[in-house]
Chain A
């Protein structure tokens, strides 16, 4: 589903290469985790795939179901089924959560040539999804993420994911700022979305999120490259021995 080949990416503002030949294949129905120390390029990878400005692609490719992601606008990537759950979800004063969700959903449907969803069906859909994430009506009414706690913001990201039903979900450090209960809610939300047509790329610094969202494949990212790939046991090894040990071994 997601196919990244020898991707090399620099910052637009300074001549500094962050990703230095990253290759990755994520198949439908699987959960891949990318772990790595700070500064290894984890957030750059997620932002780049989602289409954020500020990066220059020096080489390589990234495709979603055969379509070249790198030439698409962010909204086109979203309509094609890519979703990034932000590490730091943005607050948008003045835009109600429901309005935002409905605008996004209908924009995607329109882009795919599907009919827009009517207000009643939409309300029903959101209420149902929100309930599972313990997001109450009050939170839905408030402006997007404004005054939300860290946990509420992350739950709101998962709600968006549940409503938009993307096929390729990237979770960028979704565990940061979460307490144990919130981690469980968020993980349950993600696990509920797992199915054979959908894939996940879970980017995290710590292993603990992976206790809740069990990955099929774990990659270690260091200095802009994937240096090791393995099963869930690789995450446990990081937890026990830290990154230094693994990095020392592959160096």
Chain B
């Protein structure tokens, strides 16, 4: 292996030094953190020259002293109208005073720091394991950093079918805050849950989640990243799916300066289904990157990637999506679509769809398009009396609808649609 460029090695050390070491956990947790530090040092800090960061300059995620204006805490938030168990973080610190009692039938919830200090078998086998597996074939140094440094978040084990969603809300109060949040989630065989996440979290936000789905388990995961214009965020979701398990993830992103959402799925058991979708809408100064890696390790699995971006006045979008079908993963059904609606000539979209297939009986398709508003549709709508601005809004909503359709719950789809409509009304795209 070639030696790491000095800048990348220095960058990794700088990342590790930027935060105080987390409070000491159990020996196994310290070993997991030490191994993660090793992975970060081996990979080095991400750099623009890295193939995996070709479309997104990671510099703002690494520079010292991130600053972002905070939003008023009392503002109406997405998912407010959803009856959920709410767990609230402010600037990356859990705030029991703003949260519900973390108790819900069919779920065990405990703070990450507690889970890492105890000897809980499932936590021990999960923490850092999916992140480590996800470093191959492409390194994800910011996820390794998260494993090494995070000490806030939750360990959530779902044993049944909780009646309400679990809602993780991240608020941002301090202009210079930097948050590092880590959750580990395990759904036992046959369990089913809905996990909601929203909020600006901090001036800069590094969040990772490892999800292990037992046989036949189903996780519905809906995230909304919005409102804050200066947001710098790198998020990672690592999920391993057992036989006939289902992961359905959807992320809405509006605003933000730089958002990189990586999702790494391993369809490890036969008949598993992994769906990841996203809708991103932004204007000037907005850079959004969806990077997805789906591995079909077992036969008869289905995966879908549906990503839609609406970009205006200098906004940039990137999509890197890969489907890897391993030997023996026959009858794989893989689908991937990434599309951008460019509302003017300044917007830019880069897409890198990849298929790598080592089984011979599979159906995989991918497509990527970018284009302007369809003038024929616009005229048709206007000819029926819909004013131009309203017609364009309808077209934006229609464009992202395929991604929203990946959310299973109709009420949650409506929450997302309303959120987008409100954004459009404010911004007059």
Contact = CB atoms under 8 A, between A and B. Distances in A.
B384 A95 contact: no
B375 interface: yes
B383 interface: yes
Interface of B: 375-377, 379-388, 390-391, 394-395, 397-402
B385 A111 contact: yes
A103 B401 contact: no
A168 B395 CA distance: 27
Interface stretch (A20-28, A58-66, A71-79, A218-226): A71-79
A86 B380 CA distance: 9
Interface in A78-131: 78-79, 83-84, 86, 89-90, 92-95, 100, 103-105, 107-108, 111
- The residue in A86, A90, A160 that gathers the most chain B C-beta atoms within 10 A of its C-beta is A90
Given A75-B387, A104-B384, A105-B385, 10 more contacts: A73-B388, A74-B379, A75-B388, A92-B398, A94-B398, A95-B401, A100-B394, A107-B390, A160-B384, A164-B385
Nearest to B374: A90
A68 to B, nearest CB: 18
B386 A103 contact: yes
Interface in A24-56: 50-53
Nearest to B379: A52
Contacts of B387: 73, 75, 107, 111
B382 A75 contact: yes
Contacts of A52: 379, 383
A122 B381 CA distance: 19
Contacts of A105: 385
A90 B376 contact: yes
6 contacts: A53-B375, A75-B387, A94-B400, A100-B381, A104-B384, A107-B384
A74 B398 contact: no
Contact of A93 (B380, B385, B390, B401): B401
A83 B380 CA distance: 11
B115 to A, nearest CB: 42
Nearest to B399: A94
A164 B384 contact: yes
A75 B385 contact: yes
B384 A78 contact: yes
Nearest to A78: B385
Contacts of A79: 385
Residue in B381, B390, B400 whose Cβ sees the most chain A Cβ within 10 Å? B381
Given A51-B383, A75-B382, A75-B387, A94 B402 contact: yes
Given A53-B375, A75-B388, A84 B383 contact: yes
B383 A74 contact: yes
Contacts of B376: 90
Nearest to B387: A75
Contacts of B381: 92, 100, 104
Contacts of B391: 75
A126 B102 CA distance: 48
B390 A103 contact: yes
- Top 4 closest A-B pairs, CB basis? A94-B398, A94-B401, A78-B385, A108-B385
Nearest to A109: B385
**Most A Cβ at <10 Å: residue of B377, B379, B390, B391:** B379
B383, B400, B402, most chain A CB atoms within 10 A:
B383
B397 A107 contact: no
A85 to B, nearest CB: 10
B381 to A, nearest CB: 8
A89 to B, nearest CB: 7
B384 A92 contact: no
B340 to A, nearest CB: 15
A108 B387 CA distance: 9
Contacts of A107: 384-387, 390
A78 B398 contact: no
Most buried by B among A51, A74, A84, A164: A74
Contacts of A50: 383
B382 A95 contact: no
A22 to B, nearest CB: 20
Contacts of B399: 94
B377 A92 contact: yes
A93 B380 CA distance: 13
B380 A89 contact: yes
A73 B402 contact: no
A79 B384 CA distance: 8
Nearest to A163: B384
Contacts of B388: 73, 75
Contacts of B402: 93-94
B383 A95 contact: no
Given A53-B375, A89-B380, A94 B385 contact: no
A103 B389 CA distance: 13
A170 to B, nearest CB: 10
Contacts of A84: 383
B379 A78 contact: no
Interface centre among B385, B387, B391, B400 (most CB of A within 10 A): B385
A119 to B, nearest CB: 14
Contacts of A94: 397-402
Contacts of A73: 382, 387-388
A236 to B, nearest CB: 32
B385 A104 contact: yes
Contacts of B375: 53
A110 B101 CA distance: 48
Contacts of A83: 383
A77 B387 CA distance: 11
Contacts of B385: 75, 78-79, 104-105, 107-108, 111, 164
A75 B383 CA distance: 5
A164 B387 CA distance: 15
